[in-house]
Structure 1
Amino acid sequence: MSSSIHPCLWFDQQAAEAADFYISVFPNSRIVDKNPIAVSFEVMGTLMMGLNGGPKYQQTQACSYFVYCGEEVSIEEVYDSLKKDGKVYFPLDTYPWSPKYAWVQDRFGTNWQLDADPIRSVQKIVPCLLFVNEKKSKVREAREFYTHIFPNSIRLMEAPLPDSEDLLFTQFKLDGYIMNAMSSPERHEFDFSPGNSLVITCKGQAEIDYYWEKLGESGEHGRCGWLTDKFGLSWQVVPEGLGKMMSDPEKGKRSMEALLKMNKLIIETLKNP
């Protein structure tokens, strides 16, 4: 397997505006590609995507993005920029788990967890899954589910809940991509949503078939390569070069029409609609 993973953020029609904002806030950030539907951008060298999906879904606190600042980022400056016209859930301060930490929802609805600690990886932005309410005891199960599906996956660390076999926090790699997962003992009014999804870019049909079936097991398969796994997390299983297929001057319109009729994406049909 040689797939790659990156987060997708759902916006009404503000994807380009949000991406421009993020590359102005974070160093080593740039726009990679842009079209009316989506914009790909790097934040501190880590690929993300913004989708102009309309008002149907909103982003959720159940999916946030850790920013491991280290010495290369001024956590104070990033915090001040992100909190403007947004919401602060944890103000920038010292906490038992970090010498400097904050949780901020920016004005576009994206949730960021800022941590002054460095990370020994080129991946500085790490998606975090928050399991709440009836799912709060599912962190270990979810980690095992994902690490068994993705090749070259390892557990990096974990912190158990006091006097419990459940996990408060864990960090792991899925085929080299770092993920965080945590639980909350409090009652919350949010859960996972298609407003935050993870995109798997696949090199061939065999990989699409594999992830479509494995991740969708006991979940729900949707349209256009989207699925929801058994924990409620949304994934997009797409072929490498999908954007190029959709923008082809001769076949692009027919490829888009074909995609809109599909559940699982079929590469040959997209290439030759």
Structure 2
Amino acid sequence: MNNKIYPCIWLDKNGKEAAGYYKSIFPDTHIAEDNGLVQMLSISGQNLMLLSAGPQFKPNASISFLIASENEEETVRLFNELSVGGIVLMPLDSYPFSTKYGWVRDKFGVTWQLYTGEKGNTDQYFIPTLMYVNQQNGRAKEAIELYTRIFPGSQTESVMEYDGQEDTKGNVQHAQFHIDHFTMACMDSSIQHQFNFDEGISLVVITADQQETDYYWNNLVQEGGKESMCGWLKDKFGVSWQIVPQKLMILMNQDDREKAKKVTDALMQMQKIDIDKLSAISAA
């Protein structure tokens, strides 16, 4: 499974609690890393990063996680488990597109779409689903075009459009696509929502070297994107990305804690990550 790309959930310093909660609900799940700030979950071999960073941002329904199962009983179980302490956004019921479907926000603010049916051409347990709302409404197809053009190994699997009855004609009801062999989905919504894309849920891209870091950074901030700090950026739709060189993990987790702190301090002053500069600081 491709773990070069994975979602990150920003939490208010309760990542340990959330990690234990998800571990108790999802099958074949374990905590692969826990350094206090970051808890990395492996869910059926798929990475989900929890960032216990504070109250500045919160996850919202602009990015939800779709779990498809051919077993209705499993859909019901997941819906019931995730509803405890949470809020039901769409009741568990039969819909034209699924015999059993529900949408729920769990007690940590993360939203899940539980779907009975085939998951398509993917082996992922969950599929990040981007919802284009408010000023971004109607741009789902444009986003697919951008992402599949930037990332290698990309393709659009399916696009289902509204016919004009439930939403604006031509808007995306549901689309599934792959970027660098990582499966994502997206949709448009013409309903006014009280949220937009933000740092509450971001997408992490692990890069092999500086050249690859530069490539993704430069392409994702083009045409109206925005650079942020510590490898974070927003693309022109407002979706947050973290472009992270693989070597950064090694430099920040080395045994020499003094050198690791120097690397971290230098990182905090950067926008795009300069891995050669951080390597030089570590070697000094």
Category of TM-score, reference length = shorter chain: over 0.9
Matched, 1:34 2:40: no
Q: Call closer, same or farther: CA 1:19–1:117 in 2, change over 3 Å.
A: same
For the aligned residue pairs, the C-alpha RMSD in angstroms reads: 1.6
Partner-residue secondary structure (3-state), 1:140: helix
Query: Shift in Å at residue 73 of structure 1?
Result: 7.4
Matched, 1:258 2:266: yes
Partner-residue secondary structure (3-state), 1:74: helix
What is the number of residues matched between the two proteins? Answer: 272
Q: Residues of 2 paired with 1:123 and 1:73: CA distance?
A: 19
Q: Residues of 2 paired with 1:33 and 1:213: CA distance?
A: 30
Q: Residues of 1 paired with 2:180 and 2:17: CA distance?
A: 31
Matched, 1:249 2:255: yes
Deviates more, 1:169-178 or 1:73-82: 73-82
Matched, 1:209 2:210: no
Q: Residues of 2 paired with 1:15 and 1:194: CA distance?
A: 16
Matched, 1:234 2:240: yes
Q: Residues of 2 paired with 1:25 and 1:107: CA distance?
A: 13
Counterpart in the other structure of 2:181:
176
Partner-residue secondary structure (3-state), 2:199: coil
Aligned ranges for residues 1-273 of structure 1 at < 5 Å? 4-71=4-71, 74-119=74-119, 120-163=121-164, 164-217=169-222, 218-250=224-256, 251-273=259-281
Deviates more, 1:21-30 or 1:242-251: 242-251
Query: Shift in Å at residue 152 of structure 1?
Result: 1.2
Query: Shift in Å at residue 154 of structure 1?
Result: 0.4
Partner-residue secondary structure (3-state), 1:265: coil
Q: Residues of 2 paired with 1:167 and 1:22: CA distance?
A: 30
Q: Residues of 1 paired with 2:3 and 2:27: CA distance?
A: 26
**Would you say the 8 A contact 2:245–2:275 is kept in 1?**
yes
Query: Shift in Å at residue 241 of structure 1?
Result: 4.2
AA at the equivalent of 1:16: K
AA at the equivalent of 1:269: K
Q: Residues of 1 paired with 2:72 and 2:97: CA distance?
A: 20
Q: Residues of 2 paired with 1:85 and 1:150: CA distance?
A: 38
AA at the equivalent of 1:99: T
**Would you say the 8 A contact 2:11–2:51 is kept in 1?**
yes
**Would you say the 8 A contact 1:103–1:112 is kept in 2?**
yes
Q: Residues of 1 paired with 2:54 and 2:155: CA distance?
A: 36
Partner-residue secondary structure (3-state), 1:272: helix
Partner-residue secondary structure (3-state), 1:261: coil
AA at the equivalent of 2:33: D
AA at the equivalent of 1:128: T
Residues 71-125 of structure 1, C-alpha deviations (whole Å, 9 max, x = no match): 4972222111110010000111111111111111100111111112232422121
Unaligned runs of 5+ in 2: none
Query: Shift in Å at residue 168 of structure 1?
Result: 2.2
Unaligned runs of 5+ in 1: none
**Would you say the 8 A contact 1:255–1:272 is kept in 2?**
no
Partner-residue secondary structure (3-state), 1:223: coil
Partner-residue secondary structure (3-state), 2:268: helix
AA at the equivalent of 1:102: G
Query: Shift in Å at residue 244 of structure 1?
Result: 2.9
AA at the equivalent of 1:57: F
Partner-residue secondary structure (3-state), 1:194: coil
Deviates more, 1:222-231 or 1:20-29: 20-29
Query: Shift in Å at residue 44 of structure 1?
Result: 3.0
